[in-house]
A and B are shown apart, each in its own frame.
Chain A
């Protein structure tokens, strides 16, 4: 614990500061640590509240706006709370050609939410995603950190049913 440099008032845990300390020597400048820091911070909350972004900014030593800029650029950072299962359906060219649009509308109908929204029970968040790099197995989606590929509506339906009943 002696390596912890967590400021008293930080919303981020000492674990965050330890992890960063370990990474620091691998990067040329502190600003190069913004992405790993955001991933680490997100792992603590499941999303990135304003206070977490500010704590990251303070740690890196830049204006909080610069952190917000980076966090808002990448779709893997959540600036709003997300459901237990975060569905990210690729709607880039290859996937759309293979029916990704239908998958999105199927989810919207089944879950009763639009893209970018979370179900009232907090179980699902639905997002569109730019290329997941899985064009060979299109259409593809991510459910939290897992890839699910070669999707069709029955397969998607099964997955949603199963996740629905998981606790």
Chain B
């Protein structure tokens, strides 16, 4: 392998790797703004200038591929002074309103200014100002903070496949915008906020909600479709505040769609049922479990439907539960409940990027466990339907009674005899198999909302009652 030297450290690299990536291998961070590993390289912000021996001028590390024997300095006096100048220039129009900016605490501009800028400033010129622009349901733009890195433009053009963000006018008047500030059209708008190195493109849903440094983070997996984008849930105490994509080269790269990004909101909506119910009427766990047990105990046959939106662990648990019912002498039909897409063969990509037709997170996993979709007929004719769901699949209509264990909205529960509320995807650990067959782990961020429980606990209380009865008898 070819080798180069960065700040005195020898590094091996693959042909074509740029100096930023190569430096990272030996723990050297070169500051950047316009460069993003998921986008094309334009080398226009000049923040990444480094000294390369035998080259007359400083070079932009983002656009300079390492070559064998190259000697690079990232800490020389010339580099430091270039960084100071670049920072000073980029801040010429910046309002420095960090105290009221959502990006504060996770802002490249702030971090680089702190590490590489000077604390004094020579400009006395008036700064250009713009009013904030509402760019549709996802993004609000504060153009005052923009440094014209064009990451957003390139994201739209190269990744989202729509060049809706452009640079209007030029020079000091450059405005990064859609035509007349029209709403963004892409289904991937949230990524604009992730990649913006300043607080210019902010997520409306997150605006003024939480300072970034208060957020705790756990790795998760989106259960919004069969893609299974790798994500990070960011939360504090019992509230999830934001979902951001987590890099996975094979699944979602650096990106995620808006539907997936805001999925956590459903789990925190007022509409979610977080206490047991009998019909539409709230009940205690004791009452509801007793009622569910009665329904199951008096049935000759039950249909057990396990949602393809549940984790592998939950599906396996559901299977065990069904087996035990069988052993107890009940005629059990076991299968899966799915979304509109009922087999992985029917699952199609919805666009050229990530989104897929199957809007549940674990259909492949359910199939791997041998679960076949429950047909309309089977559920309609069921004497008792036990439906276990994660909130994404549809519970089919049944002429018999339905014991629903899952994540539901209030209007869903009216037709159920008993509803037992289950932890949502943000509230439990679990494994989901995406359409590629990758088993991916999601970690729990917050405790189950209200009185909802983990499936393991629900199964246990259901069984405990039975055991207690037997012991007592």
Contact = CB atoms under 8 A, between A and B. Distances in A.
A66 interface: yes
A69 B421 CA distance: 52
Interface in A59-113: 62-66, 68-69, 72-73
Contacts of A63: 162-164
Nearest to A74: B170
12 contacts: A62-B163, A65-B163, A65-B164, A65-B165, A65-B178, A65-B179, A66-B166, A68-B179, A69-B168, A72-B170, A73-B169, A73-B170
A69 B164 contact: no
B58 interface: no
Task: Report which residue of B162, B163, B178, B179 has the largest number of chain A beta carbons within 10 angstroms of its beta carbon.
Answer: B179
A63 B163 CA distance: 6
Task: Report which residue of A63, A64, A65, A73 has the largest number of chain B beta carbons within 10 angstroms of its beta carbon.
Answer: A65
A129 to B, nearest CB: 13
Size class of A's contact patch?
Answer: under 10
B179 A64 contact: yes
Contacts of B168: 68-69, 72
Nearest to A75: B170
Interface of A is mostly: helix
Nearest to A54: B179
Contacts of A64: 179
A72 to B, nearest CB: 5
A56 to B, nearest CB: 13
Contacts of B178: 65
A66 B169 contact: no
A63 B178 CA distance: 10
Contacts of A66: 163, 166
A73 B175 CA distance: 11
A66 B156 CA distance: 11
B167 interface: yes
Nearest to A66: B163
A63 B156 CA distance: 11
Interface string B168-186: 1110000000110000000
Contacts of B163: 62-63, 65-66
Given A65-B163, A65-B178, 12 more contacts: A62-B163, A63-B162, A63-B163, A63-B164, A64-B179, A65-B164, A65-B166, A65-B179, A68-B168, A72-B168, A73-B169, A73-B170
